[in-house]
Amino acid sequence: MKITIPDIPIPDFTARDAAAARQLQLTKPAGSLGVLEKLSIRLAAMTGKTELAFPRKAVIVCAGDHGVTAEGVSAYPAEVTPQMVMNMCYGGAAINVLARQAGARFKVVDVGVATDLPPHEHLHNLKVARGTKNMAEGPAMAMPEVLDALNVGMNVASMEIANGLDLVAVGEMGIGNTTAATAIIAALTGKPVAEITGRGTGVDDERFQHKILVIERALEVNQPDPMDPYDVLRCVGGLEIAAMAGVMIGAAAGRVPVVVDGLISGAAALVASRIAPVMRSYFIAGHQSVEIGHQTVLRELGLRPLLDLGLRLGEGSGAVLAFHMVEAAARTLNEMATFEEAAVSNKD
């Protein structure tokens, strides 16, 4: 089975340089808006535009179950995945509240929930399989499932772009997915599992140590090829993580900036960047998660988080909060007056 990765345009260096030049003409000391200035320049390179605007924002949450929950790695049972997906569909989750505040539309994609979900206007029913297999005993997925899940994500991104999309946050829902994400990060970076494993849903000390051992066993049993992101997904990945990587790739192919959330979203971004290295130019790190493995991801991707609020929820919550910073960067570049326009003296 084959997969076609769309062409992702390289950054627009003309737009980047024009944005940088305008920043020097705005009525402020050069560099005084710090990260906002740098972000506005990156946004110009991503979009190919110097007049930046992001009125059409979306949060895409990919959902899937994980067979590794049979090992007792989570504080919550697998039944919570479909329950939380439906809570999101009806607008009751944190991500719904934050998306409404940010003026962003919301979609959840069932790519691998273990049970059937009822139709809903906010739900894409695109199930590839009923969850992954237990990666501690063998591969989490077959390769066709990996490729199908990636395709689901890319197709969803294409659909959302067709509906009008300027900025996207990519989130997730899936009990057990911090275990899969940590295994992915360890496989792709070579970092020791104990150094990058967090407590996920808030497991106690005993279960935390057990979680580390389960991840180590999964890597030992499956021996994923660190040079092959598809194989890493097959061995220790998640259906929703593969779909998230697909959403990111599809968005970047349409020059839509991608705001990365926490650990699981970061693992998907790492996979996407290994599939298509130019992806790194389209990522914005929404926040710094409490999950320790997220720090490794951000270093690997060369990203500086916009926010650090002690979050560890997932769902895309930190990414959506960062929408406000993205819009601030765009608006200050666009709407501030230049020294000449304001008749303000510049340097001697």
- Whole-angstrom distance, CA of residue 322 vs CA of residue 167: 11
Cα(first)–Cα(last) distance of the chain, in Å?
65
Q: How many CB atoms lie within 10 A of CB 182?
A: 31
The secondary element (H helix, E strand) that includes residue 62 is strand 57-64
Please say whether the dihedral angle defined by the alpha carbons of residues 117, 175, 131 and 111, taken in this order, is positive or negative.
Answer: positive
Whether 327 is a known active-site residue: answer no
Q: Max CA-CA distance within the chain? A: 70
Q: Residue 210: name the closest of 201, 219, 199 by CA.
A: 199
- Whole-angstrom distance, CA of residue 261 vs CA of residue 62: 13
Q: Which of 160, 172, 240, 315 is catalytic?
A: 315
- CA-CA-CA-CA torsion for 213, 215, 218, 219, nearest 10 degrees? -110
- Whole-angstrom distance, CA of residue 166 vs CA of residue 174: 27
Q: Residue 248: name the closest of 338, 162, 125, 161 by CA.
A: 161
Instruction: Evaluate whether 113 touches 131 at the Cβ level (below 8 Å).
Output: yes
Q: Residue 249: name the closest of 318, 150, 167, 104 by CA.
A: 150
The residues that are catalytic are 315
